[in-house]
Amino acid sequence: MRKKIVAGNWKMNKTFTEAEDLLFGIADELQQGRPEDVEIVVFPPAIFLELANDVATENGFFAGLQNISEHESGAYTGELSAAMVASAGGSHVILGHSERRTYFGETDALIAKKIDQALKHNLTPVYCCGEVLQEREDNRHFDVVEKQVSEALFHLSEDDFAKVVIAYEPVWAIGTGRTASPEQAQEMHAFIRKVLAGKFGDAAASTAILYGGSCNAANAKELFANADVDGGLIGGASLKAVDFVTIIRSF
């Protein structure tokens, strides 16, 4: 049985009191009813991790960070290590998000090192992959995603690979309101699983592959209904408690 996961990427949003309101709002909403078999994770800005982790632990969900350093520790001003996240109670980390690739020049080789750091400190990496619009229009989306997946993950042992969650996030769908159709999502998720099976065998059948890109309370149900879509990584719609929990209830 694969895990079902709904995760909220807050990006660089919310002040301290707004973060408190959102976290307690999510907790209140969850008390009105939640599917017990869905793992829920929030990814607030790093400065709110401890707060998020306190609320999450009391209310049956998890908190993590949107990025970590590839280094263990040392003179890297402004960076946060996997060990710090783990010691503050964080459980997951988003790696390879398209905004990190585009604005911070992150490559698959660098992301592979971050994945190693995450695994070393028992954090669950949520590895993001996905093509830009031009690549889809040129019918290169499968090649692009296969390369991203193989370059960032194929060095892992089967045991470590089994700890990784994947998020397919077509870049043209992130924050644009232009969601992948359920057919496009299913087609790519099945393709990713096939690529993973080619390297890791049966373990790929247990990998949770989330969809991300303008997934919201109105379209989550038809996306999650697909055989290889195991949940969602949610940006904009995770910033409102009611919308986020409606998405969680869409399974």
Binding site for ligand PEP (CB under 6 A): 9, 169, 174-175, 212-215, 233-237
C-beta closer to ligand PEP: residue 207 or 214: 214
Tokens encoding 104 = 């911070």
Least CB distance from residue 11 to ligand PEP, whole Å? 6
**Which residue in 70, 99, 131, 169 is the catalytic one?**
169
Least CB distance from residue 194 to ligand PEP, whole Å? 23
Least CB distance from residue 126 to ligand PEP, whole Å? 9
Distance CA 119, CA 85 (A): 12
Tokens encoding 90 = 């964080």
C-beta closer to ligand PEP: residue 90 or 212: 212
Other CB atoms within 10 Å distance of the CB of residue 135: 18
Distance CA 35, CA 111 (A): 32
Contact yes or no for 14/45 (Cβ under 8 A): yes
Residue 63's H or E segment, with its range, is strand 62-65
Q: How long a stretch of residues is the chain?
A: 251
C-beta closer to ligand PEP: residue 6 or 112: 6
Q: Does the annotation count 18 as an active-site position?
A: no
Q: Contacts by 129-136 with C-beta closer than 8 Å and gap 24+?
A: 129/96, 129/166, 129/167, 129/168, 129/169, 129/192, 130/98, 130/168, 130/169, 130/170, 130/171, 130/173, 130/174, 130/212, 130/213, 131/170, 131/171, 131/172, 132/171, 132/172, 133/171, 133/172, 136/170, 136/172
Least CB distance from residue 56 to ligand PEP, whole Å? 19
Contact yes or no for 169/184 (Cβ under 8 A): no
Q: Does the annotation count 29 as an active-site position?
A: no
Q: What is the dihedral of CA 29, 2, 213, 65, to 10 degrees?
A: 70
**Which residue in 92, 97, 121, 189 is the catalytic one?**
97
Least CB distance from residue 74 to ligand PEP, whole Å? 29
Residues annotated as part of the active site: 97, 169
